[in-house]
Structure 1
Amino acid sequence: MGNRLSKIYTRTGDDGSTGLGDGRRTGKDSLRVDAYGTVDELNSGIGMVLAHAIPDAVAAALTQVQHDLFDLGGELCLPPGTELVFDGDITRLEDLLDGFNEHLPPLKDFILPGGGHAAAACHLARTVCRRAERGLVALSRVEVVRPQCIRYLNRLSDLLFVIARVLAREAGAGEVLWKNEHRRKPQA
């Protein structure tokens, strides 16, 4: 790869545009840039989870996800026809989901985000993942987005939810169930 990033600032974006992977320029507020920017934000959120002491299996899974997200961001900033996210990546997430979820009790109620620092960071990453997914769906309505990219983020948000549950139990914090009956009822 060489010295691709030998100079960090270029001043080329001072006009509100940014370069895509093929050299074309587009607005920094375009749906495409927003989509891969949110994927980058998600990757940073996963980095926050990895900054905690977490089980090795979770760390290995999330580190691979970070690599996948770089590929996903790359696919989004390169010309249509570039394929960097594959069905096998989605299958791997499903296998991880099944493996981590197998040891968790079934949920009968919603849980509140929390469960210790690592679990809370994972819940935050999950919500960013959902936003990234929504961004890709919006982009797909006006430009080409391969369905594998959207499916990957959909499975990843599920995986992050399950991992947050695993981390909450690992930390001994447990899960707080949403108590719907505590909502204020309108008075007559």
Structure 2
Amino acid sequence: MSADNRKILQRVEYRMFFLQGEIATEEPEKFRKQSTIITDEDTHYLESIIDKYTAELPKVTSFILPGSSCAGAQLHVCRTVCRRAERQFVSFMESNDVRPELERYVNRLSDFFYIMARSEDQVAMNEKVVDMVVDRYKKAMEES
């Protein structure tokens, strides 16, 4: 996994701990007073990564099959688990008081994991192409 993506994912992982803590507690107000909470700034961070990577990556013209890279495949699993959790979260909100900031954050997570998976697949493909070019160059140099 690229160092930049590792750093981004670690930041999101920490935020997810706070999200889980808030929805798991029986006293959300007490939790909010004593802990870090998810804010719209956190959602904007996810959206900034999504926008940045979408602009940098090649346009999608067909279905993407997970598995081009190990990290990409794992991130696609995160995306699908996140989608399932989002559906359960919507049901949870029907019977529980949930801040809208949490709903917005959860809504953006699966898109975030999707773009991160695409990024990792692109990095792996670029590395593969570079390795192929270097191998061909070395072979040509040995033959001459």
TM bin (shorter chain) = 0.7 to 0.9
Q: What's the CA shift for 1:150? A: 2.1
> Is 1:72 matched with 2:19?
yes
Tell me which residue corresponds to 1:145: 98
Query: In structure 2, how many angstroms separate the alpha carbons of the residues matched to 1:101 and 1:57?
Result: 16
List runs of 5+ in structure 1 lacking aligned partners.
1-53, 174-188
SS in 1 for 2:96: coil
Q: What's the CA shift for 1:121? A: 0.3
TM-score by length of 1: 0.60
CA contact (8 A) 2:57 2:122 kept: no
SS in 1 for 2:106: helix
> Is 1:161 matched with 2:108?
no
Within 5 A, what are the aligned runs for 1:27-176? 54-78=1-25, 79-81=27-29, 82-83=31-32, 84-172=37-125
Q: Which amino acid aligns with 1:64?
A: R
CA contact (8 A) 2:86 2:107 kept: yes
Query: In structure 2, how many angstroms separate the alpha carbons of the residues matched to 1:109 and 1:146?
Result: 37
List runs of 5+ in structure 2 lacking aligned partners.
127-144
Query: In structure 2, how many angstroms separate the alpha carbons of the residues matched to 1:98 and 1:55?
Result: 18
Q: What's the CA shift for 1:80? A: 3.5
Number of residue pairs the alignment of both structures matches: 120
The structure whose RCO (Cα within 8 Å, separation 6+) is larger is 2
CA contact (8 A) 1:97 1:159 kept: yes
- Higher share of residues assigned helix: 2
